[in-house]
Amino acid sequence: MNGIMKRIFIAGVMAVAIGAAAAPASAQSVPKVELGVGYQGSHAPDAWFPLGFNTDVAITTMDKWSVVGEVGLTRHTEEEGGDNLAVKDLNFGGGVRYNGRMMPFSGAFEVIVGGLHRSFNFDECSDPGVECSGTALMIQPGVQFSYDLMENAGLMFGASYRRVFWKDDSEFSANDEGGGENDFRFVVGIKIGFPRP
């Protein structure tokens, strides 16, 4: 992630945190469980993963705090040496989310810790001794914005910075030199709270 994107991301996180802390409590009921489903895209160094999905479940522990778990998938294809190469990233993890509950527009800040499983699909994967998948630790802070179309249900947009801790000698890192990588991901979808009013 370049310097400009880092500054934009940090400014967005601070704006959500300050706005959520200063926001008055709204009259809407607080859902016990929230389900988010949507399209996910991600960008690793020198690679754009345009096809994907993400789903998350958040359980409210206090009025504005939730524990959250998520799983998602993104896919990237390219032609290399006349062969089609497909790369899939499966992200999974859990963490906490702070919700600035307002109507109709609200924001949230979350931190997810989990893993990223990257797998390759090309001809050499069928050869013995060739590793075509690997998993690394992932830490993913991000922001999420939602617009209520009805009480506890509406549209959602999320953006996250994702740090993936590949080993220095890992061939799965998107960096040419190997090692950890900085990714950026976004999600667009719907969020529904339960129980329904």
Task: Report pLDDT digits (tens) over 31-87.
Answer: 999 999 999 999 988 789 999 999 999 999 998 999 999 999 999 988 766 677 889
First to last CA, the chain: 41
From CA 135, how far away is CA 54, in angstroms rounded?
18
Q: What are the structural domains, with CATH classification, of the chain?
A: 3-194 (2.40.160.20)
Reported pTM? 0.79
pLDDT at residue 16 tops 80: no
* Mean of pLDDT over the chain: 85
| CA 142 to chain CA centroid, nearest Å | 7
Task: Report pLDDT digits (tens) over 155-186.
Answer: 999 999 999 999 988 888 888 777 899 999 99
